[in-house]
Structure 1
Amino acid sequence: MATEYVKFVDVTKCDGCRACMVACKNWNDLPAEPQDFLGSAQSHTKTTADTWNVLQYIEHENSKGGLDYLFRHSACFHCTDAACEKVCPEDAISYTDFGTVVIDHEKCVGCGYCVNNCPFEVISLKEYVDKNGDKYRKANKCTMCTDRLEEGLQPACVTTCHTGAMQFGDKAAMIQKAEERVKQIKDRYPNAMVYNPQGVSGTHTVYVLAEKPSVYGLPENPKVPTSAVVWKDYAQPIGKMMIGATTMAVVGAFITNTIISKKKNGKNEDGGEHHE
Structure 2
Amino acid sequence: MAVEYVKYVDVTKCDGCRACMVACKNWNDLPAEPQDFLGTMQSHANVSADTWNVLTFVEHENSQGNLDYLFRHSSCYHCADAACEKVCPENAISYTDTGAVVIDQDTCVGCGYCVQNCPFDVVQLKTYKDENGKEYRKAHKCTMCTDRIDEGLQPACVTTCHTGAMEFGEKDAIIKKAEQRVKEIKERYPNANVYNPQGVGGTHTIYVLAEKPSVYGMPEKPKVPTSAVLWKDYAQPIGKLMVGGVTMALAGAFVANKFFDKDGKVGPHDDGGEDHE
- Using the alignment, how far apart are the partners of 1:205 and 1:131 within structure 2? 38
- Using the alignment, how far apart are the partners of 2:40 and 2:89 within structure 1? 40
Counterpart of 2:187 in structure 1 is: 187
Counterpart of 1:50 in structure 2 is: 50
Instruction: List aligned pairs for 1:107-256, cutoff 5 A.
Output: 107-244=107-244
The SS at the match of 1:154 is coil
Cα displacement string for residues 170-211 of structure 1 (whole angstroms, at most 9, x for unaligned residues): 000111100000000000000000000000110000000000
In the TM superposition, residue 3 of structure 1 has moved relative to its aligned partner by 2.1
The SS at the match of 2:91 is coil
In the TM superposition, residue 39 of structure 1 has moved relative to its aligned partner by 1.0
The SS at the match of 1:46 is coil
- Using the alignment, how far apart are the partners of 1:117 and 1:181 within structure 2? 32
Counterpart of 2:22 in structure 1 is: 22
Cα displacement string for residues 124-177 of structure 1 (whole angstroms, at most 9, x for unaligned residues): 000011111111000000000000000000000000000000000000011110
The SS at the match of 1:99 is coil
- Using the alignment, how far apart are the partners of 1:40 and 1:207 within structure 2? 23
Q: Which amino acid aligns with 1:16?
A: G
Q: Which amino acid aligns with 2:157?
A: C
Q: Could you say which structure has the larger radius of gyration?
A: 1
Counterpart of 1:86 in structure 2 is: 86
- Using the alignment, how far apart are the partners of 1:7 and 1:246 within structure 2? 40
Normalised by the length of structure 1, the TM-score is: 0.88
In the TM superposition, residue 243 of structure 1 has moved relative to its aligned partner by 1.0
The SS at the match of 1:234 is helix
Cα displacement string for residues 234-263 of structure 1 (whole angstroms, at most 9, x for unaligned residues): 11011111115999xxxxxxxxxxxxxxxx
The SS at the match of 2:167 is strand
Counterpart of 2:101 in structure 1 is: 101
Counterpart of 1:256 in structure 2 is: none
- The aligned length equals 247
Cα displacement string for residues 10-44 of structure 1 (whole angstroms, at most 9, x for unaligned residues): 00000000000000000000000010001111000
In the TM superposition, residue 2 of structure 1 has moved relative to its aligned partner by 3.2
Counterpart of 1:251 in structure 2 is: none
In the TM superposition, residue 47 of structure 1 has moved relative to its aligned partner by 0.2
Stretches of 4+ moved more than 6 A in 1? Answer: none
- Using the alignment, how far apart are the partners of 2:245 and 2:214 within structure 1? 48
- Using the alignment, how far apart are the partners of 1:123 and 1:54 within structure 2? 13
Identity %: 79
- Using the alignment, how far apart are the partners of 1:113 and 1:28 within structure 2? 24
Cα displacement string for residues 43-86 of structure 1 (whole angstroms, at most 9, x for unaligned residues): 00000000000000000010111100000000000000000000
The SS at the match of 2:188 is coil
Instruction: Provide structure 1 residue ranges, at least 5 long, that are not aligned to the other structure.
Output: 248-276
Counterpart of 2:263 in structure 1 is: none
- Using the alignment, how far apart are the partners of 1:54 and 1:46 within structure 2? 7
Q: Which amino acid aligns with 2:102?
A: V
- Using the alignment, how far apart are the partners of 2:69 and 2:201 within structure 1? 30
The SS at the match of 2:227 is helix
Q: Which amino acid aligns with 2:75?
A: A
